Amino acid sequence: MDRDIDMQDQHKLRRLSAQDAVYTHTHKQPTSMLASLWSWYISWAIPGLGMFSEAYIIFSLGLTKPLQKAMFPTCFKTHDACPEAITHVQNYIQLCGIIAGMLAFGALGDYMGRRWGSRIVASIMLSGTILLTFSPLVPNPATFLNFYIFAATWYGFGVGGEYPMASASAAERSQSDEALRHRRGEQVVLTFSGQGMGNFVNGCVILIMMAWFGMTGPTLDPTKARDVISIQFAVGAAVSVFMVLWRWFKLKESEVWEAEKHDFDEITENELHKGKRYLTLNAFANFWPRLTATSMAWVANDFAFYGNKLFQSTFIALLYPKATEFERMQWTVLNSAVSLMGYFCAAALIDKKWYGRCRMQNVGFLMMFVLFLICGVAFPTLTASEAGLRAFQFLYFFSSFWNQFGPNCTTWLVAAEVFPTDVRGTFQGISAAMGKVGAIIADIVFGYVSTRTTFYMSAAFGLAGALVTWLFLPDTTGLSLDELDRMAKYMLSNEFEHYHGEAVNPKHLSTWERYVLKWHRHYDPEMDRKHKAIQLAKSMGKELSALEKEVLSKC
């Protein structure tokens, strides 16, 4: 009988292995304050180059629209050379490429690993940027438009893959480094802040190039506009070259992914015989409320965020109707700087237990709801006088700040935290892809409704995002990724009722998981501590004591 208990419960004990995972990476202690700052900076700046490139190129679509009109007026103004529908379709065709990349490389990254996934997407992004750099040299307007759309879509396919690769890699890199483990949210958000930096730098480069070519007046020279577009893409290509070289020669594989892959392969071979497909279906069955939270919140965020970015030149023209394109670009750069501060504020507070992920996302969504609603309700007053326009400018800039200091950062982070390692890339890719669906909806709808209506719609999506967050999103602030993987293994082996660890602590569960699924009923820290002690004893080859067998029999 004792032997039967022992053999039966070894299966359960093996699920605890992820909790005590040992990683070889250690954080080298800097020898000076300057070295410490440099080490801290490159720990997130270099991994964030993919998001820098994404924002630099993607958001340039909105910023360079006036330059495109100057370069090919028959294509983008009068539409004699290009069908008007095709000129409008360039934004969401590129977004379709991004969605395809998110779905494809999210799944591939879980299969082939973070390093190879990161290398491939960086190479695609580099080739796409090179194509975009030379696209303005095409002399025929219609040919330029087709070439430009192809290059942007191909680049978008690579960018889509960067989302799950960069997010999962940043979270797992922090988990594998003991010095960074308690600052996981900070590290992931700072990596994501490359997006804000890319947007800011792109605006600065365009502004500098316009000043260099003397394009500060009311009219834009077609040849100079072409040169500005080409040069600003070339700067982005230079960043991509460095990123590709770094990833091919310096990037190491995620230790968290390697450990989980080894563990999963062992489980699949010896026990489950069901493979990756079963794992993914099991994760869908157990984590669909979390997938709903990460996906629908991302839809709500990207509807407002990307919609406003893609139509940024339109909003800036509304705010400054008498300004030249050069002057409007100055205000665009200022808006990007304000937004960038939001990323850093988010990084500073994201790991604080009194604020954390859920509260930051909810507050951000609610602030967007309030600010966009004010813009919609007071739109006639705000646009009727110079004083009103100043207030409008503040509201528009302030909404950008709260978007970054809220859902734009948290949606990227939590989609890499609330799912187990084995499906982290897949589910992050699905969540991000749903977000881009929101961006496509905004891109299509914003082209057919009034500016005032766009603010009402953005406010509605902000409120919807807050409701989804409150209902379905768990707070992973302070929760180890290893502990989440441990819980997932219990689920995978249909032993979830025997899991008593921190991942079912009520503070780490969503409203849905607490009051509908009632996962918190399994939480028992003392029993979990005994289970871990037994697991450690078994891993060291020690015999089970009578007390340990009694504990196991009660499981």
Which residues lie closer than 8 Å to 528 by C-beta, 6 or more apart?
500, 501, 502
User: Is the pLDDT score of 263 beyond 80?
Assistant: no
With a pLDDT cut of 70, the percent of the chain lying above it is: 85
- Close Cβ partners of 122 (under 8 Å, ≥ 6 residues apart): 50, 158, 162, 240, 243, 244, 247
* Tens of pLDDT, residues 34-76: 888 888 888 899 999 999 999 999 888 778 888 999 999 999 8
- What is the C-alpha to C-alpha distance for residues 194 and 47, in angstroms, rounded to an integer? 9
DSSP summary character for residue 545: P
If you average pLDDT over residues 476-493, what whole number do you get? 89
Percent of the chain with pLDDT over 90: 58
Range 314-336 average pLDDT: 79
Q: What is the pLDDT of residue 19?
A: 46
Q: Can you give the pLDDT at residue 16?
A: 45
**What is the DSSP track for 520-535?**
GGG--HHHHHHHHHHH
pLDDT per residue as tens digits for the range 11-38: 444 444 444 455 655 556 667 788 888 8
pTM of the model: 0.88
- pLDDT above 90 for 224: yes
The pLDDT value given to residue 150: 94
pLDDT at 1 > cutoff 80: no
Residue range 87-143, pLDDT digits in tens: 877 777 888 999 999 999 999 999 999 999 999 999 999 999 999 999 999 999 999
Determine the pLDDT at residue 363. Answer: 97
Average pLDDT, the chain: 86
Please tell me the predicted confidence (pLDDT) of residue 18: 41
Q: Residue 322 has what pLDDT?
A: 76
Q: What distance lies between CA 317 and its chain's CA centroid?
A: 29
Instruction: Give 381's contacts (C-beta < 8 A, 6+ positions apart).
Output: 388
Q: In whole angstroms, what is the distance from residue 132 CA to residue 150 CA?
A: 9
> How far is Cα of residue 100 from the mean position of the Cα atoms in its chain?
15
pLDDT at 549: 54
Spatial contact of 50 and 288, defined as CB atoms under 8 Å apart: no
Nearest to 362 by CA among 309, 299, 405: 405
Q: Chain centroid to CA 158: how far? A: 14
Q: Which residues neighbour 208 within 8 Å (Cβ) at sequence distance 6 or greater?
A: none
Query: What end-to-end distance do the CA atoms of the chain give, in Å?
Result: 16
Residue 5 corresponds to which tokens in the numbers above?
């208990």
DSSP letter for 496, please.
G
List the alpha helices (DSSP H) in 322-423: 325-349, 356-377, 379-382, 386-404, 407-414
Q: What is the largest CA-CA distance in the chain?
A: 90
As a dihedral over the C-alpha atoms of residue 500, residue 503, residue 507, residue 511, rounded to 10 degrees, the angle is -100
pLDDT at 181 over 50: yes
Lowest mean pLDDT among 291-295, 395-399, 467-471, 520-524: 395-399
Residue 457 has pLDDT above 80, yes or no: yes
Query: What angle, 0 to 180 degrees and rounded to 10, lies between the N-to-C axes of helices 325-349 and 386-404?
Result: 40
User: 476 CB contacts (<8 Å, ≥6 apart)?
Assistant: 357, 414, 417, 418, 484, 508
Q: Which long-range contacts (CB under 8 A, 24 or more apart) does 146-150 make?
A: 148/90, 149/86, 149/89, 149/90, 149/93, 149/94
CA separation for the pair 490, 345 (Å, rounded): 37
Radius of gyration (Cα) for the chain, nearest Å? 25
Residues 240 and 125 sit within 8 Å (Cβ to Cβ)? yes
Question: Would the pLDDT of 455 be above 60?
Answer: yes
